[in-house]
Amino acid sequence: MRSKPVIPRVIAEDDLDRACDHYLVEAGPDIAEAFLIEFERVTNLISRSPGLGSPRYGFEYDLSGVRSWSMKKFPYMIFYIETDHSIDVWRVLHGKMDIPTVLVDPETVSG
């Protein structure tokens, strides 16, 4: 299967920025960089095999096509939809957040 480009939404980019800022302050630049490397590793996997992500949140909260994939080295989940030509990354959320609320209400700011 051919890889599809991964296109994060602005809100997903904001999620990444917040996570990186947190890791920079709390753990230093090496950990913040490792977070971004892990994000890239996971999105590369998703771009090659989009169907591997769990459809659980999409089914439970009537978000058609939404899938998720957990980052192994960090407590974050990537939420995305496969389109005909790309992978649309919706959010990048910490696993301890109120994920259903944040996914259903796109105005909710993750912290």
Q: What is the mean pLDDT of residues 23-33?
A: 97
**pLDDT for 110 beyond 50:** no
Look up the pTM and report it. Answer: 0.91
Residue 87 in any domain: the answer is yes
| Residue 101 banded pLDDT, cuts 50, 70, 90 | confident
pLDDT for 111 equals 45
What's the CATH number where 29 sits? 3.30.2310.20
Residue 50 in any domain: the answer is yes
Residue 109 in any domain: the answer is no
Structurally, how many domains does the chain consist of? 1
HEC readout, the chain: CCCCCEEECHHHHHHHHHHHHHHHHHCCHHHHHHHHHHHHHHHHHHHHCHHHCECHHHHHCCCCCCEEEECCCCCEEEEEEECCCCEEEEEEEECCCCHHHHHHCCCCCCC
pLDDT for 109 equals 52
Residue 33 in any domain: the answer is yes
Mind listing the pLDDT tens digit for each residue in 58-90?
988 888 899 999 999 999 999 999 999 999 999
Domain that holds residue 93: 6-103
